[in-house]
Homo-oligomer: A and B are copies of this chain.
Amino acid sequence: MTAAGDRTHDPALRSWVASANAPDTDFPIQNLPFGVFRRLGAGARPSVGVAIGDRIVDLAAVVGRGLVSGDALLPCQACEDDSLNELMALGPAPARAVRLALSDLLREGGAGEAHAAEILVAMRDAELFVPARVGGYTDFYASVFHATNVGSMFRPDNPLLPNYKYIPIGYHGRASSLVASCAAVRRPWGQSRAGDAGPPTFAPSRRLDYELEVGLFVGAGNALGEPIPVGRAEEHVFGLCLVNDWSARDVQPWEYQPLGPFLAKNFATTVSPWVVTLDALAPFRAPAFARPPGDPPPLPYLAGAPERAGIAITLEAWLCSARMRDAGAAPMLVSRGNFTDMYWTIAQLVAHHASNGCNLQPGDLLASGTVSGPTKESRGCLLERTWKGTEPLTLPTGETRAFLEDGDEVVLRGYCERPGAARIGFGECRGTIAPAIPASRPESMNYR
């Protein structure tokens, strides 16, 4: 079930799509991630595509022109849909067959070139969507560095709770407010309390933050009541993406006890458009996080995961304020971390989630929680990066940032690089903060 022998990630492979051969592209022929796009202009409908360089392969057009056959035909037909759910439900082998067929079509000398005008769409001429109809969205807390940092701010005497090293801590998020990359995110109103006493106030959040996370789309599901063994958990993973779990840090500490985050998180979560398969990531597998001496081993149902259960993905958060955009300044790098710093592997997240029989379904999204590493520069949210706002960032314009201001744009990026392998990128997960609804609106608003 591994991708051993999968020729799609041969680093020597080149495509007749010129932009796919640029050394810094996220989408070389070795990647071929899946997404859902719509051609700009009237009448076009959302459709499944695969990214290649700065182009999108329209899978419906590939099927329509009879360019696939054999194992790839049925799963390509499953792509004639407005989401990836049907393809995801088929499990890993069919998606592998599609990528292999596309690799053949798109390689130098491949048969696709003669049909380029019909099967390719320029990314700049397309709108991109959340790639699946997400039934269940679960958010984990898998970075021990993040958990320790946040814990030490909110519970100084008790930063890392005793369950952390036994349980991949997670909670259910809100699927309805998942939004596509580039969607504006409105600053939410919420309850917060200034000190430790006195009544709360209800006002627009003044501590709006992002969280840099990796998302995992479930492929084949499990039946209710039937756990997924950790050793087979990756067979249920269709692929990975980037997730920005926007958070209102003033609302969160006031509301989260005893039942966890709710309105501090569920106003919006941004999902990147391209789902990178585990096959494409195979050259970047790495050992799982090395538990420090003294940490307990995982309980048996979470142990014995794949030997190289980690994935070396470099993850970056970039910030661009409205004034920076006006001044023509480039976005500023706020953090750079790596997915190998996560305490729990993706196999452990999946196996734990289903360990009580909870049924995962095709298209479900499991996010990792904020990816933070051991260094200051690798902290994946402003809460940690500015240490609760006490160490604000200085932007190129001279502005400072403790938390996000209206007009700020956050761009998350992820990529895998190493000598001897083609670069595999995730593209971008973008969002810009829009002002809160004015104070007069909540009671007198433009109600339908």
A residues 101-157 touching B (CB-CB < 8 Å): 135-136, 141, 151, 154-155
Contact among B191, B256, B301 with A299 in the assembled complex (CB-CB below 8 Å): B191
Q: Are B356 and A176 in contact (CB under 8 A)?
A: no
- Cα A378 to Cα B373 with chains together (Å): 49
- Cα A200 to Cα B135 with chains together (Å): 31
A residues 300-343 touching B (CB-CB < 8 Å): 300-301
Q: Are A177 and B359 in contact (CB under 8 A)?
A: yes
Q: What residues of B have a CB within 8 angstroms of the CB of A262 in the complex?
A: 169-172
Q: Does A398 contact B (CB under 8 A)?
A: no
Q: What residues of B have a CB within 8 angstroms of the CB of A251 in the complex?
A: 356
Q: What residues of B have a CB within 8 angstroms of the CB of A136 in the complex?
A: 174-176
Q: Are B227 and A356 in contact (CB under 8 A)?
A: no
Q: Are B161 and A358 in contact (CB under 8 A)?
A: no
Given contacts A225-B186, A260-B261, contact A266 B447 (CB under 8 A): no
Q: Does A189 contact B (CB under 8 A)?
A: yes
Contact among B172, B188, B260, B441 with A258 in the assembled complex (CB-CB below 8 Å): B260
Q: Does A167 contact B (CB under 8 A)?
A: yes
- Cα A191 to Cα B169 with chains together (Å): 12
Q: Does A248 contact B (CB under 8 A)?
A: yes
The minimal Cβ–Cβ distance linking A188 to chain B, given in whole angstroms, is: 4
Place the interface of chain A in its size category. 35 or more
Q: Are B179 and A224 in contact (CB under 8 A)?
A: yes
Residue among A225, A262, A356 with the most chain B CB within 10 A? A356
Q: Are A442 and B227 in contact (CB under 8 A)?
A: yes
- Cα A267 to Cα B227 with chains together (Å): 10
- Cα A136 to Cα B266 with chains together (Å): 11
Can you add 6 more A-B contacts, CB < 8 Å, to A136-B175, A189-B355, A229-B442? Answer: A172-B172, A172-B266, A188-B356, A190-B355, A200-B299, A267-B358
* Pairs A–B under 8 Å by Cβ, sample size 23: A136-B174, A136-B176, A163-B254, A167-B191, A167-B254, A169-B258, A171-B171, A172-B172, A172-B173, A189-B357, A190-B356, A201-B299, A225-B267, A226-B437, A227-B441, A229-B445, A248-B356, A256-B259, A263-B355, A268-B357, A301-B442, A301-B443, A355-B442
